[in-house]
Amino acid sequence: MNLDLLIVNITNPVLLFFILGIIAATLKSDLEIPPSSFKFISIYLLFSIGFKGGQELAHSHLNSAIYIELLFGVLISALIPLYTFFILKRKLDNWNAGAIASAYGSVSAVTFVSATSFLEVQKIHFDGYLVAVMAFMEFPAIIVGVLLMKRFNHLKTEQITIGQTLKHSISNGSVLIIMGSLVIGYISNIQQAMEFKPFTTDIFKGFLAIFLLEMGITTAKRFSSFRKQGLFVILFAIIIPAINGSVVALISMYFVDEIGNRFIFAVLAASASYIAVPAAMRLVAPKADPGLYIPMALGVTFPYNLTLGLPLYYLIIQFTS
């Protein structure tokens, strides 16, 4: 792997704040972000991502290429749970296998933001409408995971309906704010929307750094209890994202033209949801253990992608372009 590229990624100030959070938790420091402030920052980040994406989508000419990329993203989200479920089922029960498969088929908005920051450092263009693609990739994995749990747990249809699952997924706060902001950004008057730029763009990375500081603290705290689950889930949380991201980085050349867009697709395929999926699983899979699938996504996959995954997928795309 290109050492310079790895160093550039690791010395990104945003990532360094994440590492600072891990150090703070390891040292048992009293450093913390107040819950109300953290919730505000989370909403702000999702609002900014959605609004900017809506603006970019408004400036884009909707054509067959955009529809192909949207379909490509939805297929990625639906196919990943189909094969990961059967890998997980070898060691875990059907509930946990379905929940984890859903998490790894769905996406992480924060990893998406980290990927866009990475591209900005490399001065590589990517299309803003990928925010819409990311938002649409939240749902298919959840639906496929529920269908697999219903099939292999022999659940009656009335116990967990797809309609309930879809409704809960869409009404989840993180999904609703990003989708709503996307629509508002799309239909807003261009001149008036420009007045939001200092709020949505200029201060964005500062808030992202504080967000990742808290994420580092949370990661370190959850990872200590997660290690008791065994080597299998730890290896899964590293190897499966690496495979997903690398495969999509390769095959994306047949569906996507822009290098930056290919990179975003690879990162989304490699990411795992620790917000939307856990919220949905509380309703549809109460027997699945959130102490398992949340630390896998947040404590292992998220740090892996930020440190090693992003440079890996970028190099694969460079070599195949």
Q: How confident is the model at residue 245 (pLDDT cuts 50, 70, 90)?
A: very high
> Per the domain annotation, does 102 fall within a domain?
yes
Q: How confident is the model at residue 32 (pLDDT cuts 50, 70, 90)?
A: confident
> Per the domain annotation, does 19 fall within a domain?
no
pLDDT digits (tens, 9 = 90+) for 128-174: 888 888 888 877 888 888 888 878 876 554 455 666 666 666 666 66
- pLDDT (mean) for 102-128: 89
Residue 125 has pLDDT above 60, yes or no: yes
> Per the domain annotation, does 20 fall within a domain?
no
More confident residue, 234 or 59: 234
- Can you give the pLDDT at residue 157? 45
Rounded to two decimals, what is the model's pTM? 0.79
> Per the domain annotation, does 5 fall within a domain?
no
How many distinct structural domains can be found in the chain? 1
More confident residue, 236 or 18: 236
- pLDDT (mean) for 195-222: 82
Residue 243 has pLDDT above 70, yes or no: yes
* CATH code, domain with 184: 1.20.1530
- Can you give the pLDDT at residue 158? 47
> Per the domain annotation, does 13 fall within a domain?
no
More confident residue, 16 or 2: 16
d(CA 132, CA 120): 19
Percent of the chain with pLDDT over 70: 87
d(CA 122, CA 29): 35
Question: 44-48, 84-88, 118-122, 170-174: lowest mean pLDDT where?
Answer: 170-174
pLDDT digits (tens, 9 = 90+) for 74-106: 999 999 999 999 999 998 989 999 999 999 999
Side-chain-facing half-sphere of 161: CA atoms under 13 Å? 4
More confident residue, 249 or 274: 249
Q: What is the mean pLDDT of the chain?
A: 84
> Per the domain annotation, does 6 fall within a domain?
no
Percent of the chain with pLDDT over 90: 31
> Per the domain annotation, does 65 fall within a domain?
yes
Q: Which residues fall within 8 angstroms of residue 6, CB to CB, at 6 or more apart? A: 307, 308, 311
> Per the domain annotation, does 187 fall within a domain?
yes
Domain enclosing residue 105, as ranges = 34-319
- pLDDT (mean) for 286-292: 79
- Can you give the pLDDT at residue 155? 52
- Can you give the pLDDT at residue 304? 92
pLDDT digits (tens, 9 = 90+) for 178-188: 778 888 988 88
